[in-house]
Amino acid sequence: ALAPLLEYLDSNLKCYYNGTYRTNFDRVLVSIWKSVLQEMTVTVQGNAGEKMAFYDRLISALRILAEFFHAGSKGIHDEMLRGPDYQALERLLKLNTNETSDLIEEYIAERIKEQKRLRQGEFGILTVKALFNSPSDSLSVDVVEAANLTPLDPTGFSDPFVIIELLPRHKFPDCPRQMTKVQKRTLNPFFDESFEFTVTAERCKQEGAAICFTVMDHDVVTKNDFEGEAYLSLTTIPGLEESTQDHVAVNLVLMQPNDKSDILYALEFRTWDKLAQDFVREQRNKRP
């Protein structure tokens, strides 16, 4: 399918090569390569929601075109060839060729990394404890307290409660979400509640497995308001290894949704995939 394009480029580039200085030819070559990347990016964005095979073909086309413009080290050098535009397009294509479950796991991993980078809790801090109990194959989670929450009620307070769930859900379909009691009129709620999930150590050690804590403001008449969320990687939980048995409190910085996530963007257009649509809908519902 690419043969006509490659033949066209080859015949025209020969004219430039024979009729210009090498420096000018290199500039022309780079300019055309940037145009190719822009056109492919427009093609991807204009066909959002296509099945994965469509993007697989585009990845193959990108690699063939890169080899053509590289020309066995005689064309564009690697650093220029695979610059920011190339990397952005390649990531966009790979996102659209990954399985939905893989994208969801990558999104959760991104949120955990983002949380680790935060130094201040603009939306509050949540204090929790977690411990894996080997004899009973159970995960114990304590929600201790929260501090400095955002006031979401006209009174200047909130009525916060916390939802606890194991993610990604497709790895823990038999572990239903649980929630604390509602604490009335406070921005510094003391919960002091314990929860237990029946799950094996092997499942806790799965890559990308995490506990998600979602802090909500309870409303009687209207929909509950989103305060913030925090993640705790299950692989870090004490008790999974014999040498770590301490039930230590952890302070988690609460975050708001990442509306600029390209992973969510890729999932949103998978209208043919219920898992993707359910996940995106849940994330979008967290918007303030």
CATH number, residue 216? 2.60.40.150
Q: Give 229's strand partners.
A: 214, 255
How far, in Å, CA of 145 to CA of 218, rounded? 16
Please choose, from the candidates 66, 67, 64, 58, the residue with its C-alpha nearest in 3D space to the C-alpha of residue 91. Answer: 58
- Name which of 144-148, 239-243, 267-271 the model is least confident about: 239-243
Q: Final residue of a domain: which of 97, 115, 144?
A: 97
Tokens of 34: 């940037």
Find how far residue 123's CA is from the centre of its chain. 20
The band of 45, judged by pLDDT with boundaries at 50, 70 and 90, is confident
User: pLDDT tens digits, residue range 187-240?
Assistant: 999 999 999 999 999 999 998 899 999 999 999 878 899 999 999 999 889 988
DSSP 3-state assignment of 236? helix
The domain tally of the chain equals 2
Looking at residue 203, what is its pLDDT? Answer: 93
Domain boundaries, position 120: 103-284
User: pLDDT tens digits, residue range 199-213?
Assistant: 999 999 998 899 999
Q: Final residue of a domain: which of 97, 132, 159?
A: 97
Q: What average pLDDT does this structure show over 23-32?
A: 92
Looking at residue 245, what is its pLDDT? Answer: 58
How far, in Å, CA of 271 to CA of 257, rounded? 21
What separation, in Å, do the N-terminal and C-terminal C-alpha atoms of the chain show? Answer: 47
- DSSP, residue by residue, 95-129: HHHS-HHHHHHHHHHHHHHHHHH--S-TT-EEEEE
Whether 125 shows a pLDDT value over 60: the answer reads yes
**Residue 275: Cβ-neighbour burial (10 angstroms; 0-12, 13-18, 19+):** middle
Whether 244 shows a pLDDT value over 60: the answer reads no
Q: What average pLDDT does this structure show over 151-163?
A: 94
Tokens of 11: 């015949």
Report the number of secondary-structure helices (H) and strands (E) in the chain: 9, 8
Report the chain's mean pLDDT, rounded to a whole number.
91
How far, in Å, CA of 18 to CA of 16, rounded? 6
Backbone angles phi, psi at 67, to 5 degrees: -65, -40
Please choose, from the candidates 197, 178, 200, 205, the residue with its C-alpha nearest in 3D space to the C-alpha of residue 139. Answer: 197
Looking at the structure, tell me whether residues 247 and 204 fall in a common domain.
yes
Question: pTM here?
Answer: 0.81
Whether 129 shows a pLDDT value over 70: the answer reads yes
Q: Final residue of a domain: which of 78, 97, 116?
A: 97
Whether 119 shows a pLDDT value over 80: the answer reads no
Q: What average pLDDT does this structure show over 276-288?
A: 86
Looking at residue 15, what is its pLDDT? Answer: 86
Looking at the structure, tell me whether residues 120 and 241 fall in a common domain.
yes
Q: Which residue has the higher pLDDT, 33 or 260?
A: 33
Give me the percent of the chain exceeding a pLDDT of 90: 70
Looking at residue 242, what is its pLDDT? Answer: 61
